[in-house]
Amino acid sequence: MSERSTGEFGLIEWIRSRRPRLGPDQGVEGDVGDDCATVRFRSPSMIVTTDMLMDGRHFILDRDGPEAAGFKAMGVNLSDVAAMCGVPRFATVAVALPRRDAVAVGQGLDAGLRRMADRFGVHIVGGDTNAWDGPLVVSVTLMGEPHPLGSPSRSGAKVGDAIFVTGPLGGSLSRGRHLRPNPRIREAQAIRPVMNPTAMIDLSDGLSSDLGHILDESGGLGAVLDEAAVPIHADAIDQSTEDGVPAILHALDDGEDFELCFTVRPEEATRLPEGVTLHRIGEVVAGPGIRLRGGDGRLTPVERRGFDHFRERAKS
């Protein structure tokens, strides 16, 4: 880690001065200024995820501000840990700050990162702070502990499984909800022991795309979703009013909802954990493809139209 570079000292000292002291009680050993951070987990194995956010793609710095960027950057990583039913513990942050405004952007970014991290007891144990002539880039790596009962994979869904999501979907871009993820860490930890999910994923690319990954990786399975059961976010309805695209398609395709989607054996689908809102939206079936069942019982194929970093995103 190169937080040591001399000219960054003003910013880095400011960041460090605002962070709580970390020590053995927090699972942190050694000095924070060393070349590596030293941390200790309470589990024999560790889970790790990384996500990079770039100005103009995942946020718009001039419109959203650096704090929103930091908040989202930590949140999307937490959402990946939620999809494993894990406990997040430690994060590192690497950042390329736009030079013209590096200190102010760095301070705002740090405030957003910490606000989200604090919510889940995550300690930021190290980082790399750079400035350049390019746009803001922030990369978070999040480490944690797997659930003692095991992590649901993406590949364990079976024919007949019930499909659930943890909240309403669609339209996350229209009012900036994509900047305010609500990582379902606590929900996942409540779901894991009660419902024993066969597969789980977080909805970042969109339900059609993310559920599609579960179905593909579970051996080329398919799904039938009940149109009336798919929870549609108010933002998706607003968006539909504006663009004329049916709200259900926004719910299926928009992405960045950061809710969980998971499958459970049908006999466990009625045992629901307390205090968690769940929507049972359909069933895993043999043969590939996702179909939507309307009120009249007719099945319509659902195309996958999730987020694609390698093409322009139509809506952004």
User: Does 303 interact with a copy of itself (rule: CB under 8 A)?
Assistant: no
Contact window for a copy of itself (CB under 8 A) among 35-43, 61-69, 230-238, 239-247: 35-43
Contact window for a copy of itself (CB under 8 A) among 26-34, 110-118, 173-181, 281-289: 26-34
Minimum distance from residue 169 beta carbon to a copy of itself (Å): 17
User: Does 277 interact with a copy of itself (rule: CB under 8 A)?
Assistant: no
Instruction: Give buried/exposed letters for 102-140 (b at 16+ CB in 10 A, else e).
Output: beebbbbbbebbbebbeebebbbbbbebebeeeebbbbb
Of 23, 104, 132, 299, the residue at the interface with a copy of itself (CB under 8 A) is: 132
Of 19, 158, 213, 265, the residue at the interface with a copy of itself (CB under 8 A) is: 213
Of 37, 117, 162, 269, the residue at the interface with a copy of itself (CB under 8 A) is: 37
User: Does 130 interact with a copy of itself (rule: CB under 8 A)?
Assistant: yes
Contact window for a copy of itself (CB under 8 A) among 162-170, 239-247, 262-270, 301-309: 301-309
Please identify, using beta-carbon distances, which residue of 89 and 177 lies nearer to a copy of itself.
Answer: 89
Minimum distance from residue 210 beta carbon to a copy of itself (Å): 7
Distances in Å between the Cα of 293 and the Cα atoms of 178, 203, 224, 244, 281 are: 28, 21, 7, 21, 10
The two three-digit tokens of residue 220, written as one number: 């080329």
Task: Look up tokens 């050694």; give the residue.
Answer: 30
User: Does 257 interact with a copy of itself (rule: CB under 8 A)?
Assistant: no
Distances in Å between the Cα of 53 and the Cα atoms of 94, 96, 155, 173 are: 11, 11, 27, 15
The two three-digit tokens of residue 280, written as one number: 């049972």
Contact window for a copy of itself (CB under 8 A) among 60-68, 179-187, 270-278, 304-312: 304-312
Q: Contacts with a copy of itself in 83-112 (CB under 8 A)?
A: 83-84, 86, 90, 92-96, 99, 102
**Of 141, 138, 127, which Cα lies nearest the Cα of 33?**
127
Greatest distance between any 2 Cα atoms in the chain: 68
Burial of 262 (0-12, 13-18, 19+ CB in 10 A): buried
Q: Contacts with a copy of itself in 49-88 (CB under 8 A)?
A: 49-52, 54, 56-57, 76, 80-81, 83-84, 86
Q: Which residues pair with 249 in a beta bridge?
A: none
